[in-house]
Structure 1
Amino acid sequence: MAVLITGGTGFLGSFLARELCDRGERPILMDLRLDLTRLRGYEDRVDLVEGNVTSWADLAEVFKTHEIDAVVHTAADLSLRAERSRIESFRTNVEATLNVLELSRMFDVDRVVFTSSLSVFGLRSMPVSETSFRDPATFYGVTKACSEIVGSYYASSHGLDFSAVRFPIITGPYRRGEGASVTISSLIDSAVLEGKGVVRLPLETRIPLLYVRDAARLLRLLISHNGKLRDIYIVGGVVVSVGELVSSLKRVVPDAIVENEVDDASMRIAGEWAALTELALRERMVERFGRIEDVGWQIEFDSAEKMVKDHVETLKREVGA
């Protein structure tokens, strides 16, 4: 199966590529900058395409050159950048999705899976379900909601097999970028690789987290599933506090120095996530959406301890930290 992953050398895209390679597939990875640091040991097992998903010409060339069976569209600007550069991020997060969908229609692609976010929800979304009112409080959430709607249009009007996966905050090794979600990954990366990490959120902040290996495994199961998929999948994640993550990190890496420097920009975005956390707890989203029976998936990294342990072990194994 020929799978195109947009944002393929990025955080989630690269871990999905690993999942596919481990099962004998050779995915096509398209990215604006081909950063192979997340693909150590997999560099020769993927096809790499440098290009911009907002460019019709760049993306069309990929579809013309490869006989693509499925697309997983992960390329996106994250929350802080989206708030600061709304016009540019709309192009990156929404117009690029339109490009992917139209080319998938033109080239008869079997399936498109879009990585959306729980940030499409808000306080007016209760009770939470796949058909709940979209009420994003961040511009990042707005772009995800827009892309979902465009995808639904292509599904209903053009018969495209489209599914959106509403992820919580995804954490794991090698995550970079501008978003409140990045601070957790950066903390652990820095603590392991440099001996010192900085957490920019209050320790009492509670957030819904999903470990990147669980997220990548779900995407692999969705694109390889033989049956009909649902239009939207909600993934509940595991609600943990920043303090729990720091405590787990100190147990796994006792010598690491962890400093707390609250960042105003991350705090504001984290405040929106905190509201979603309360929503998640009230709506029992962890229990309700911690497994997806359609494809036989459930969360395996179900505690801060498990997430941090694998994160640290991955860095030590691959970077030699």
Structure 2
Amino acid sequence: MKIAVLGGAGFIGSAFVRELNKRGIRPIVIDLLTYAGRVENLKDTDHEFIKADIRDQKLHDILKDHKVDVVINFAAESHVDRSIYKPQDFVTTNVLGTINVLEASRLLGFRYVHISTDEVYGEECSDEDSPLNPSSPYSAAKASADLFVKAYVRTYSVNAIIVRPSNNYGPRQFPEKFIPKAIIRTLLGLHVPVYGNGKQERDWIYVEDTARIIADLMEKAEWKGEVYNIPGGQRISNVDLLRMLGEVMGKEIKVKFVSDRPGHDRRYCMDTRLKYSVTPLKEGLRRTYEWYVENEWWWKPLIADKFFKEDEPWR
């Protein structure tokens, strides 16, 4: 089976490449290598790499020439703060890019795995049949892409599924995100900015668990537009997460509460019909912390980014 991983040089995408390698599969990795997609994420993996943009018509030729059977799309703009600052980028990549991939699937006949997010549901606890109620430009773009997948399944009989994971964490996550930002800033003796009162709840899942669950899904899905939620089942407030992380690190995490961001969801909460096991949160945080300690070469070149340095980057 020939598999193409779009956005495979990103955080979750590179973890998925590693999962495929464990199963004896050498995928094609297609990535534009924007700021969060890095060839360093693919170190020690077995893959064929092609630099390309999912919004570009040339993607069709690449997928046709390689005779792919399945395409998994992790390629996305994913940082909520950046979507508030510049929403247009999220529409072009997350919506128009998805439509371009769907067109390729319609014309070439490959199966398509669309990676979405729990944020499309908004603040209410939701199952796979719940209505979409996005709050940010990021989640609105992802919800729109999900609906296009549904439309292509219905109108063109494209073979596709939609996967909605909860908040991922683990090695190789870009330092703008909450957990790596907290780890790195604490290692550097800096405070960690926390929006509002810090009581917003998120449901966390270790990235290697997400990769494994998606790979398992590919073997049993019916490919008729089914939606699969992948919650971690480990909901915790942001301030309590930092307390747990501080225990793991054996260090005091200095919290600085800052003005809340616009449209900030109070919680994310999903149910699922799937059965699987996940890494306990404290154990996953320990593995994540140890990875960042042992791999300064990976993150030190990245911390000049303004989204790492500033408390309220969307302003």
Same fold, TM-score > 0.5, yes or no: yes
Q: Secondary structure at the match of 2:12?
A: helix
1:176 to 1:262, Cα distance in 2 relative to 1, 3 A? farther
Q: Secondary structure at the match of 1:26?
A: coil
Of 186, 200, 208 in structure 1, the residue corresponding to residue 194 of structure 2 is 200
Q: Secondary structure at the match of 1:271?
A: coil
Instruction: Measure the CA separation in 1 of the matches of 2:175 and 2:230.
Output: 22
Report the Cα offset of residue 16 of structure 1.
Answer: 0.4
> Residue in 1 aligned with 2:302?
none
Taking only the aligned residue pairs, the percentage that are identical comes to: 25
> Residue in 1 aligned with 2:240?
244
Q: How does 1:1-321 map to 2 (within 5 A)?
A: 1-33=1-33, 35-42=38-45, 45-57=46-58, 59-78=59-78, 79-109=80-110, 111-122=111-122, 128-176=126-174, 182-191=177-186, 194=188, 198-201=192-195, 202-225=197-220, 227=222, 231-237=226-232, 238-254=234-250, 256=251, 258-264=253-259, 267-268=260-261, 271-272=264-265, 274=266, 276-277=267-268, 280=269, 285=270, 288-289=271-272, 292-293=274-275, 298-303=276-281, 305-316=282-293
Deviates more, 1:183-192 or 1:237-246: 183-192
Report the Cα offset of residue 228 of structure 1.
Answer: 5.2
Q: Secondary structure at the match of 1:233?
A: strand
Q: Secondary structure at the match of 1:261?
A: strand
Specify every segment of 5 or more residues in structure 1 that has no aligned partner in the other structure, as ranges. none
Instruction: Measure the CA separation in 1 of the matches of 2:263 and 2:185.
Output: 20
Kept in 2, the 8 Å contact 1:197–1:258? The answer is yes
Kept in 2, the 8 Å contact 1:74–1:115? The answer is yes
Report the Cα offset of residue 8 of structure 1.
Answer: 0.8
Instruction: Measure the CA separation in 2 of the matches of 1:81 and 1:262.
Output: 19
Letter of the aligned partner of 1:314 in structure 2?
A: W
TM-score normalised to the size of structure 1? Answer: 0.81
**Higher-helix-fraction structure:** 1
Tell me the matched-pair count: 292
Instruction: Measure the CA separation in 1 of the matches of 2:180 and 2:203.
Output: 14
Q: Secondary structure at the match of 1:200?
A: strand
Kept in 1, the 8 Å contact 2:135–2:264? The answer is no
Instruction: Measure the CA separation in 2 of the matches of 1:319 and 1:70.
Output: 35
Instruction: Measure the CA separation in 1 of the matches of 2:191 and 2:278.
Output: 26
Letter of the aligned partner of 1:311 in structure 2?
A: T
Instruction: Measure the CA separation in 1 of the matches of 2:55 and 2:297.
Output: 36
Report the Cα offset of residue 21 of structure 1.
Answer: 0.9
Report the Cα offset of residue 112 of structure 1.
Answer: 1.0
Q: How far does the alpha carbon of each residue in 1:144-176 deviate from its partner, in whole angstroms, 9 at most, with x for none?
A: 111111111111222222111122221122212
1:248 to 1:229, Cα distance in 2 relative to 1, 3 A? farther
Kept in 2, the 8 Å contact 1:191–1:197? The answer is yes
1:203 to 1:27, Cα distance in 2 relative to 1, 3 A? same
Instruction: Measure the CA separation in 1 of the matches of 2:263 and 2:169.
Output: 14
Instruction: Measure the CA separation in 1 of the matches of 2:31 and 2:258.
Output: 29
| Aligned-residue CA RMSD (Å) | 2.6
Q: How far does the alpha carbon of each residue in 1:86-144 deviate from its partner, in whole angstroms, 9 at most, with x for none?
A: 222201110000011111221110x2111111221136x67x33222221111111111
Kept in 2, the 8 Å contact 1:70–1:223? The answer is no
Instruction: Measure the CA separation in 1 of the matches of 2:113 and 2:139.
Output: 17
> Residue in 1 aligned with 2:310?
none
Kept in 2, the 8 Å contact 1:116–1:148? The answer is yes
Instruction: Measure the CA separation in 2 of the matches of 1:269 and 1:170.
Output: 22
Q: Secondary structure at the match of 1:93?
A: helix
Q: Secondary structure at the match of 2:261?
A: helix
Kept in 2, the 8 Å contact 1:245–1:308? The answer is no
Give every structure 1 segment of 4 or more consecutive aligned residues whose post-TM-superposition deviation is greater than 4 Å: 189-192, 194-197, 226-230, 316-321
